[in-house]
C-alpha cells in the first residue's frame, strides 16, 4: 500500500511542477507589466508636475476656440 501511495505522490508532485513550469512565463509577464505600469504612472506624475496648470489652461483655450465660429475668431 505504501509503494503505490508513494508513486501517486511522486506523480502528483511531478504534475504540479509541470503545471507551474507551464504557467511561469505568464506569471513573469504579469510582473513585468506591473513594473511597466508603475514606471508609466511615475512618468505621468512627473510630467503633470512639470506642466503644472498648463493642462487646465490648454483645456480652457480649446473650449474657448471651439465655442467661437471663424468670424468671431
pLDDT at 40 over 90: yes
pTM assigned to the model = 0.55
Question: Can you give the residue range of the structural domain that contains 69?
Answer: 24-73
Overall number of domains in the chain: 1
The pLDDT score that the predictor gives to residue 51 is: 85
CA atoms in the 13 A half-sphere facing the CB of 27: 6
Helix 54-67 vs helix 2-51: angle between axes, to the nearest 10 degrees?
70
Q: Residue 2 pLDDT > 70, yes or no? A: no
Indicate whether 68 belongs to any domain: yes
1 in a structural domain: no
Question: Which of the four pLDDT bands, split at 50, 70 and 90, describes residue 1?
Answer: low
Amino acid at each position: 500500500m505504501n509503494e503505490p501511495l508513494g508513486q501517486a505522490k511522486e506523480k502528483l508532485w511531478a504534475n504540479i511542477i509541470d503545471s507551474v513550469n507551464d504557467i511561469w512565463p505568464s506569471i513573469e509577464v504579469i510582473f513585468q507589466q506591473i513594473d511597466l505600469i508603475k514606471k508609466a504612472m511615475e512618468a505621468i506624475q512627473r510630467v503633470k508636475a512639470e506642466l503644472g496648470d498648463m493642462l487646465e489652461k490648454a483645456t480652457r483655450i480649446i473650449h474657448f476656440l471651439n465655442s467661437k465660429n471663424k468670424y468671431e475668431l
